[in-house]
Amino acid sequence: MEGKNLSNSQSVTENIYWLALQDKLDLISTRKVANAVQELGSMKLFWNASDSYFYKLGLDDKTIRKFNEHKNKIRLENYWKMLESLDQMSVKIIRYIDDDYPEMLRELDDSPLLILHKGSVKDFHNCVAVVGTRNASLYGHTMARKLSRSIASKGYTIVSGLARGIDIWAHYGALEASGGRTIAVLPWMVPVYPPEHAEFLKDIEKRGAVLSERFEKPSDKSAPSKFVQRNRITSGISRCVVVIESDAEGGTVHQVRIALSQGRKVFALKPKDNERAERGFKAFLEMGVTPIESDKEVLKFLDETPLKAEERKLDSYYQHSLD
């Protein structure tokens, strides 16, 4: 199904309700919402369902009360304006029930209700996440770029978060490969963060994609939590995660925990003459992460865990369309 089509009033109305519920997804699980929408026939009908229906879904009094408070507080016309902005920016809404929603992400217990997508890459079946510290050493920068370029040259899409440090060098390396592709997973679409990467993001959109589950940066104090929430998408769409330099605490450690909880294979590059990264490397080994010194172990893992037949077919189709 198409997620966004402003010429279709029914589709527009549906997406308004999807966006409105996305802002309060902590109340009801995505899978439960999707099942209810399939049963009722539309998100609008789910949004306007009676309390008795929500009781039938297994929601308790507190959850129903908070959901009703959310519905009464928001202005749906604001989401119409958001849809117009998304359309102007050529951003597509991919809902959980849509065919092009990333299948690996759909399998998670905490899947996003929807993701916003901009760019040329629409295939999420052959991704490798490369993540690490914002305060990387020269060795870390060099290896993030080198490993990402090598892995991308083998046809894999490099996923990272556009952050300063390891993330941005992973994106650079991916696009240096012939036909290289990369995906930036952001905490929100606008404004671009960090701002100095806004121009480079345009290159990513041309040869890759930008994903987020939020359009705008939240105006309240919840903004820092969105960096943490996006981690589940970064590893969620990836077949494995490669960590390059991190201390024993911080965002990269959280990303590793999330990836392991999702059942993803995680590799950590052995650091070089970096006490802070040594601490993180030791912590990762204690968590069960596989140590590496090059991309050979990563590529070997990917070769030994091939895509399912239907995923290979999709990957071949999208690669052909890019060529």
Q: Is residue 174 part of a domain?
A: yes
In this structure, the answer to whether residues 291 and 183 fall within a common structural domain is: yes
pLDDT digits (tens, 9 = 90+) for 218-241: 887 788 888 889 999 999 999 999
**Helix-helix angle 198-207:166-176, to 10 degrees:** 40
pLDDT at residue 161 greater than cutoff 80 = yes
Residues of the domain holding 89 = 9-107
- Of 100-104, 259-263, 303-307, least confident by mean pLDDT is 303-307
In this structure, the answer to whether residues 37 and 167 fall within a common structural domain is: no
Cβ 309 vs Cβ 303: under 8 Å: no
In this structure, the answer to whether residues 298 and 237 fall within a common structural domain is: yes
Which pLDDT does position 12 carry in this prediction? 82
Q: Which residues of 273-286 are buried (b: 16+ CB within 10 A; e: fewer)?
A: ebeebbebbebbee
d(C-alpha 205, C-alpha 280), whole Å: 32
Which pLDDT does position 308 carry in this prediction? 57
Cβ 226 vs Cβ 218: under 8 Å: yes
Total structural domains within the chain: 2
Which pLDDT does position 40 carry in this prediction? 96
List, in sequence order, every residue forming a beta bridge with 159; answer none if it has no partner: 129, 183
Model confidence at 5, in pLDDT bands (50, 70, 90)?
Answer: very low
Q: Is residue 112 part of a domain?
A: no
List, in sequence order, every residue forming a beta bridge with 240; answer none if it has no partner: 128, 265
In this structure, the answer to whether residues 27 and 160 fall within a common structural domain is: no
Cβ 221 vs Cβ 242: under 8 Å: no
Cβ 67 vs Cβ 21: under 8 Å: no
Percentage of the residues of the chain whose pLDDT score is greater than 90? 79
pTM over 0.85: yes
In this structure, the answer to whether residues 281 and 138 fall within a common structural domain is: yes
pLDDT digits (tens, 9 = 90+) for 76-132: 999 999 999 999 999 999 999 999 999 999 999 899 999 999 999 998 989 999 999
- Phi/psi class of residue 155: alpha, beta or left (left: φ > 0; alpha: ψ in -120 to 50)? left
In this structure, the answer to whether residues 184 and 223 fall within a common structural domain is: yes
In this structure, the answer to whether residues 169 and 239 fall within a common structural domain is: yes
Domain final residue pick, 107, 135, 151: 107
Q: Is residue 1 part of a domain?
A: no
Domain final residue pick, 107, 138, 173: 107
Give the contacts of 226 (CB within 8 A, at least 6 positions apart): 187, 188, 214, 217, 218
In this structure, the answer to whether residues 81 and 193 fall within a common structural domain is: no
Q: Give the phi and the psi of residue 291 in degrees, each rounded to 5.
A: -75, 145
